[in-house]
Amino acid sequence: MSIKTINYSNLPSQGLWKLASLSIGALLIVFSLYQAAAFPSFSVGILTLLTAMFVLQLNNRYTWLVFLPVCLVAFDFSTFSGRFIFNELDLIMLMLIGTALITHQFRHKISLTLFSFLPFALITITLVSINFIDLWGAINEPLTQNPYYSTLYSFKVGKGLIYGLVLALLFYNQYKENSTALIKSLIVGGWLGSLIMFIVVLWERHTLVPLFAMQPWWAIASSLLDFTSAYRVTGLFSDMHTGGEAIDGIYLLLVPLNFFGFYWFERNNLRFISLIALFMVCYCIMVGFTRATYFSMAISLFSFAVLFQLLINQDKKASLRNMLIYVTLLASSYMIFANAGYVGVVCFCAIICLGFFGKWLQNQLQLSPNLFILAYSMLCVLISLFAIKTHFDSRWVTHSALNFILLILALIIASSLTYLSVKSQQKLLLSNVILRSSGISIVAIMMAIAFGGTQINSRMETISQDIQIRLNHWQNILSSSNDSALTFITGNGVGSMPLNYVLAHPQTVEEVGSFSINDQKLTLGSGDDLAFGQRVEISPDTTYNINLKASSQAPSRLSIFLCERNVIFASNFVANCAAKTVPILNTSMTAITAVINSKNVGLYESSLMRWPTLLYIKNTSKNSPLTLDNISLTKEESTTNLLDNANFEQGLDKWFFYNDFQHLPWHIKNVYLSIYYQFGLLGMLIVALMLLKAVNIKREDIVKTAFQVFLISYLLGMFSFGLFGDPLDSARASIYFFMLLFAIQFINSESPKVTN
């Protein structure tokens, strides 16, 4: 097949292309800075962030891959600003793209083949779904209705594909220039994203409280290893306010990316950093207690290890043997855990570490191999006896002759295989010892946590019930679709599901609640799962007056809360709130006053030791919508209103809404169904062809082969998770997905290049 190319540097007028690139880039930069200056919340911080991005990218064109994961994880201000559609993420992306344009980074040729055309075909379907006239008018205007039901929501979902395509072009251009530097920046960005995610999860789980309070080490360890508390973490992702899986999409990117770093770098200190970053992400997954994420993480890691050994490692026989040893070791670790509890896991880790460190010490001191065997065997026997004693003393394991035999066999296997893996190592570096022993130990500990935690076991008990709920939900999704032939081919449109769903199943509004702003008045529909509020500083043990005007066509109730909350509450979590319910009895606007003592809300002064404080309201009646106006929150003996935009002159600015439990009407919860519903049969064909191209490994270029191994393991994790979730309805999760999927189409369309 003949290949045509587009070469930006060989256009009829190269100067004209550079001028256009410079002009468009400058416009994007100025536009992003202007919008940041007028942003409702954290405008100075956003301006500082954009300026720092600009300077860093000018200094090193690959740094966008370093700071982009940090921006996706750490900088989400929608819960403060109320800007849910066009927000700080767009400003970050426009600054990144604008800087790349003015530095002329889009200049390499693209081979025009069927596969390099596919990303543009999918983007075309996406662009058709977006009403750009409404979008342009809404950029500077606040929302006045539920964004999920507006024409703007198509951009909210579709921008992940749009930005993904532009970044894929940038990725491809930089890959052509220096693929190793690009991949190194990609991995380092994964490190930083993992670190930020880990810190955020510790903050969300209140693990930072004993740390900053300088409590004893056992209190810190107890908080860190608490696997019985609330099962759902959301990070800082505002997209999680109606459930969803945005955070899982980020997890499933960072897991194989950090594992990629472990294999990519030759220096053991860098490999160890990748291992620590992987551990941090895995810890976040462990405390999320999401079954599908556990499953997908395991598939991603296993597929990466297998593909790397088969496609890249030159010593196939040794690599397969080592893989078999490590898999068997991990299987024995679980058997030891099952019959000796967490003490058994500690014993397993001791056996592993003693084997590796003992062999290193034997080599350093040039001791007799027989002496090493004797000493190691004696220590393994002592450790095994301790594990056996724990088996009989523990009340958490099942005592039987079979389990006793299995425990002994597992201990023997662990000791024997550890010796087998180190016996032929004549030059065992200390850094390699630490790397391998800690790696095996960390995975064993994570397996014990995953299979032995109270929360995950309770979640496992409801699998069949949850599957049936999902099946019913997917049937409702299909029934909400348009039945036309065109819809069958090209789909219902990006982001169309929530509105279609509520139109086809209007009874769901009664469950999830509704709201709108008309004539500067807020209307709250019935449905007590909807919480509508504003983040505001609340002092503990302080009396607050809440004054507002309200009306209702039937006797109703309004519940007012002062709370600490992040994004959504878990189903088994006891919230730190102070609340009061007031009756609404008049059909005309009537002044209402409620007095609430904040109790322990805002007890810790530092925001690092607690969740944000906020006031939120709920329509807890079942009969009638409420109309509200002029909401004020004041401290006792003060007239200063602590709320911004209290009379809704600026629409939803500063206000945000949350659905803690009713999540299905907002999300398709299946990647495969999501692609079909939004893009139709044509979209499914396009995605399928791109996936085929992504997994087509020719092995001419070792760098590209390694990158594809990472990409395939990432895609396997995402699509296995996609059986029961859809992270791609959040742009923060989908940007990387489409960037990498689109980029490999361009890279694989190039003529092969053989490298060592």
**411-440 average pLDDT score:** 80
29-87 residue pLDDT tens: 999 999 999 999 999 999 999 999 999 999 999 999 999 999 999 999 999 999 999 99
Segment of 175-184, 287-296, 335-344, 369-378 carrying the highest mean pLDDT? 175-184
**240-255 average pLDDT score:** 93
Q: What percent of the chain has pLDDT over 90?
A: 54
| pLDDT score at 452 | 65
Residue linked to tokens 């509508």: 532
Instruction: Using alpha carbons, list the distances in angstroms from residue 96 to 51, 58, 89.
Output: 10, 10, 11
| pLDDT score at 697 | 87
Residue 170 or residue 393, greater confidence: 170
In terms of Cα–Cα distance, which of 550, 548, 505 is closest to 524? 550
Which helix (H) or strand (E) segment holds residue 564: the answer is strand 556-564
**Which pair of structure tokens corresponds to residue 430?**
């200390």
163-174 residue pLDDT tens: 999 999 999 999
Chain mean pLDDT for the chain = 88
Q: Supply the DSSP string of 706-717, one letter for each residue.
A: HHHHHHHHHHHH
Q: List beta partners, residue 596.
A: 544
**396-421 average pLDDT score:** 88
**504-524 average pLDDT score:** 87
Interatomic CA distance for residues 681 and 487, integer angstroms: 9
| pLDDT score at 733 | 95
Q: Residue 385 pLDDT more than 80?
A: yes
Q: Residue 322 pLDDT more than 80?
A: no
Q: Residue 11 pLDDT more than 50?
A: no
Which amino acid is located at 298 in the chain?
A: A
Residue 484: count of CB within 10 angstroms of its CB? 10
| pLDDT score at 176 | 92
CA 636 to chain centre: 41
Instruction: Kindly state the DSSP code that residue 427 receives in the 8-state scheme.
Output: S
> Do 520 and 536 touch, CB atoms closer than 8 A?
no
Write phi, then psi, for 461 (nearest 5 degrees).
Answer: -70, -15
| pLDDT score at 66 | 96
Residue 455: count of CB within 10 angstroms of its CB? 20
SS3 4: strand
The answer for 418, left when phi > 0, alpha when psi is -120 to 50, beta otherwise, is alpha
Interatomic CA distance for residues 589 and 551, integer angstroms: 5
Residue 580 or residue 510, greater confidence: 580
| pLDDT score at 408 | 93
Instruction: Kindly state the DSSP code that residue 112 receives in the 8-state scheme.
Output: E
Residue 311 or residue 50, greater confidence: 50
Write phi, then psi, for 491 (nearest 5 degrees).
Answer: 85, 175
Segment of 442-446, 580-584, 752-756 carrying the highest mean pLDDT? 580-584
Interatomic CA distance for residues 603 and 206, integer angstroms: 13
| pLDDT score at 734 | 96
Q: What percent of the chain has pLDDT over 70?
A: 93
Q: Supply the DSSP string of 81-115, one letter for each residue.
A: H---SS-HHHHHHHHHHHHHHHTT---S-EEE-HH
Q: Residue 366 pLDDT more than 60?
A: yes
Which helix (H) or strand (E) segment holds residue 547: the answer is strand 543-552
Q: Supply the DSSP string of 449-476, one letter for each residue.
A: HHHH-HHHHHHHTTHHHHHHHHHHHHHH
In terms of Cα–Cα distance, which of 650, 658, 510, 528 is closest to 144? 650
Q: Residue 564 pLDDT more than 70?
A: yes
Segment of 13-17, 361-365, 436-440, 656-660 carrying the highest mean pLDDT? 656-660
Q: Residue 407 pLDDT more than 50?
A: yes
**Which pair of structure tokens corresponds to residue 342?**
């967490």
In terms of Cα–Cα distance, which of 82, 54, 88 is closest to 653? 82
